[in-house]
Amino acid sequence: MESKTGQVLHADHADSAEDPNHLESLTKMITTLCVPFQAEERAQEP
């Protein structure tokens, strides 16, 4: 439990969970990345 990596990951997780702006920006980024793929899938349908 004393590994530096474990502490860093835990700290990052806590920060992201407590920061609504980070979550919102992450959601927007995922949405922006997913939209083109969805459009391509629709275009490839017969």
**pLDDT tens digits, one per residue of 1-46:** 455 555 555 555 555 456 677 888 888 888 888 777 777 777 777 7
How many domains would you assign to the chain?
Answer: 1
46: tokens are 């017969």
- Where in the sequence is the domain holding 42, given as residue range(s)? 20-46
State how far the Cα of 32 lies from the Cα of 4, in Å rounded to an integer.
Answer: 33
Q: Does residue 41 form part of some domain?
A: yes
Q: Does residue 36 form part of some domain?
A: yes
Q: Does residue 11 form part of some domain?
A: no
Cβ-contact 43, 37 below 8 angstroms: no
State how far the Cα of 32 lies from the Cα of 37, in Å rounded to an integer.
Answer: 10
pTM for the complete prediction?
0.35
